Amino acid sequence: MESLRELYKVGNGPSSSHTMGPARAAKVFMGRYPEATSYEAVLYGSLAATGEGHLTDYIIIKTMDPKPVKITWRPEDFRLFHPNAMQFIAYNEANEEIGTWTVYSVGGGSIIEEGQARDEVESVYPNTTMNEVLDVCKEKNWTLADYVYAYEADIKPYLEEILAVMRESLMNGLVAEGTLPGKLNYPRRAKQFFEQAKANPEDLSILIYAYALAVSEQNACGDVVVTAPTCGASGVLPGVLFALQEREGYSDEQLVDALAVAGLVGDLIKTNASISGAEVGCQGEVGSACSMAAAAVAFLKGASNLHCEYSAEIGLEHHLGMTCDPVYGYVQVPCIERNAVAAKRAYDAAKYAMLTDGYHTITLDQVMQTMKETGHDLMAKYRETAQGGLAKHFAEC
C-alpha cells in the first residue's frame, strides 16, 4: 500500500478524479514536451461525460496556460482499464504531432499511465489486508495508529498539515453564503445549520451535518479541500472529527491519530477495491469516506482494533450498491447532502460496533471485495456519467 500522502491530497475541488488527476497529468505531460507550442487533451468515458460539470476542461486549460489546449470530448468511448481515461497530444509550430500520452485518473487525484499496473505504485506498508494488519497489531501490541507510524515514521507532520487544511475549508464554508456555481442555483446551507447547531448544543447530529456541509460546499465551488478519500466525499471525515472535537474535547493530536487510522482504512479500500465513483459508483467515494470516518470515531473513543475494523466494515457495508448520479454532472446533488448524512452514519456505525463484543460475520476485507464486485456490476450510467439515476430524472423534469 502507498503512503498516506497519496491518499490525503490537498487541491481544488470539485472532483479529485476530474480536476486533481487531470491537472497532475497535464503538468507531467508539459514536463515531457516543454518544447510543444500547443496541446490537445482527449477526454474519454466518465471523464468526458461529467467533465464539464466537474470543471475538467477548465483545470486542464488553466494548468497548461499560457499554451493553447484543444479539449476533445469522447463520452461514448470507455476504456477497459478505467473509465476516466485521457490522451494528451503535443504539437509543434507546424502543428505536427510530437508526442502522445494516455493516462488514467483512477480516483482521489491519483494517475496511472498506460501500461503501468496498479500494483506498481510505491509500497510503504507490508500488508494489504485488514486481517493481516490486525494480526500484526495483535502480535506487537499496537493500535492501528501505531501501525501507521511504524511504517511511515515521518507522516505525523504531514497529517498535521492535512488537519489544518480541513479546518480551514470548514471555517470558510461556515461563513459563506449564497448559491453554489452552476445552473442548479443550489443554496449553501452550512451557515444556517451551524446557527441551529449552536441553538441545540445537546444535538450532535446538527453540528456534524453543519461541518460536513461546510467542507462539501467549499468543494462544490472549487475551493481547496483534502481528498478524504476524494474531493466528492471530502466533507464526511472533517465533519464528524471536528464536531466531536468541539463537543467532546479531543485534542488536535488525537485527531491526527484518528486521521492515521482513517487513512489506513482508505488505503486498504483503494488497494483492494476502488475509491473512484467512475469505477464503482458512490459506494467507493462516500461509502469509503464513511468507513474511514467510522474507524476514526471508534479510535477516538478508545475502541479496540477489532471494534475499529467493525466500525469501518459497517460504514462501508451499508453503502454497498450506492450509485453515482450527479445532477447535471455537478458535485452538488446528491453529493453534498450525502456527505452530511454519511458523516452522521459514521458516528452511528462506531456507536453500534462499540455496543457489541466486537464479533461480526462479515469482515472489512470481505466487504471491500464485495464493493469492488458490486461496482463493476453497476451499469455505466450509474458510474459518474450523469446519465442515469437522479441525474436522468432531474433532466427529464
Residues contributing to the site for ligand SF4 (CB under 6 A):
232-233, 277, 282, 285-286, 324, 326, 331, 334-335, 384
Closest CB 53 distance from ligand SF4, rounded Å = 9
CB 185 within 8 A of CB 216: no
- Residue 43 or residue 148: which is nearer to ligand SF4 going by CB? 43
- Residue 230 or residue 245: which is nearer to ligand SF4 going by CB? 230
Can you tell me whether residue 123 is helix, strand or coil? coil
Report how far residue 395's alpha carbon sits from residue 374's, in angstroms, rounded to the nearest whole number. Answer: 26
Starting at the edge strand found earlier in the chain, the sheet holding 110-113 runs 69-74, 38-44, 85-91, 97-107, 110-113
- Residue 73 or residue 328: which is nearer to ligand SF4 going by CB? 328
Closest CB 116 distance from ligand SF4, rounded Å = 24
- Residue 163 or residue 335: which is nearer to ligand SF4 going by CB? 335
Report how far residue 51's alpha carbon sits from residue 68's, in angstroms, rounded to the nearest whole number. Answer: 19
Closest CB 374 distance from ligand SF4, rounded Å = 14
| The three grid cell numbers given for residue 280, joined into one nine-digit string | 464503482
Q: Which residues contact 58 (CB under 8 A, 6 or more apart)?
A: none
- Residue 45 or residue 326: which is nearer to ligand SF4 going by CB? 326
- Residue 137 or residue 266: which is nearer to ligand SF4 going by CB? 266
- Residue 57 or residue 309: which is nearer to ligand SF4 going by CB? 57
- DSSP code of 114? T
Closest CB 230 distance from ligand SF4, rounded Å = 7
Closest CB 83 distance from ligand SF4, rounded Å = 12
Distance of CA 180 to the CA centre of its chain: 20
Closest CB 207 distance from ligand SF4, rounded Å = 22
Evaluated on CA atoms 204, 208, 213, 218, the torsion sign reads positive
Report how far residue 206's alpha carbon sits from residue 199's, in angstroms, rounded to the nearest whole number. Answer: 10
- Residue 220 or residue 367: which is nearer to ligand SF4 going by CB? 220
Closest CB 147 distance from ligand SF4, rounded Å = 28
Closest CB 129 distance from ligand SF4, rounded Å = 25
Distance of CA 256 to the CA centre of its chain: 18
Report how far residue 208's alpha carbon sits from residue 194's, in angstroms, rounded to the nearest whole number. Answer: 9
99-to-66, 89, 90, 303 alpha-carbon distances in Å: 19, 6, 5, 54
Q: Which residues contact 194 (CB under 8 A, 6 or more apart)?
A: 174, 207, 210, 211, 214
